[in-house]
Amino acid sequence: MADNNLLGVPETHLEAEPEVVSAVEAAKTVDELAAVVTANPASALAWAVYAEHILHPAHPLEGYAAARVAYHRGLDALRKAGWRGQGAIPWSHEPNRGVLRALYVLRRAADLIGETSEVARLDEFLRGADDTAAARIELLGTKREPAPSTEAFVIRGED
């Protein structure tokens, strides 16, 4: 991102949250992720991962609400780190990833509820923060609870 920094605004680097990263990685269920959020309510990463897991096209409002909280927690962290509404938030600095994921999941949620102006604004925000972030987030995947198993069966009749 430094090569694209034409304004001379320094990159924003957030503080690491190793305990949150470990807890999120260890969480295997949505309930466990909710416990991580409860224990770390100021963490954009915790909220973003929780939102990623509960966001569902059939009932998007719950995911949208969690994504909105993730976004605001991310803005709080950015401002605390000296960000003033512009400048790079590079994906390469791992502690920034929670904020970037919060932007991305809110964009997805806004799209699901048809909030097109918000989708456009968040696209621009993500590109300005790190133009590779969205593609990198799409490669992450999520640790979703496995779907219930289904059993295939064949009905055999007489010839």
Residue 6: pLDDT band (50, 70, 90) is: low
Residue numbers of the domain that contains 14: 2-140
Domain harbouring 70, CATH code = 1.25.40
Work out the average pLDDT over 68-84. 97
Q: Say if 157 falls within a structural domain.
A: no
Cα-Cα-Cα-Cα dihedral sign, residues 144, 136, 17, 73: negative
Residue 151: predicted pLDDT: 46
Residue 146: predicted pLDDT: 41
Q: How many domains does the chain have?
A: 1
Residue 141: predicted pLDDT: 62
Q: Say if 153 falls within a structural domain.
A: no
The per-residue pLDDT for range 102-153, each reduced to its tens digit, is: 999 999 999 999 999 999 999 999 999 999 999 999 988 644 444 444 444 4
State the CB neighbour count (10 A cutoff) for residue 26.
Answer: 9
Cα-Cα-Cα-Cα dihedral sign, residues 14, 141, 134, 4: positive
Residue with tokens 């990685």: 25
Q: Distances in Å between the alpha carbon of 40 and those of 11, 19, 47, 113?
A: 25, 9, 9, 27
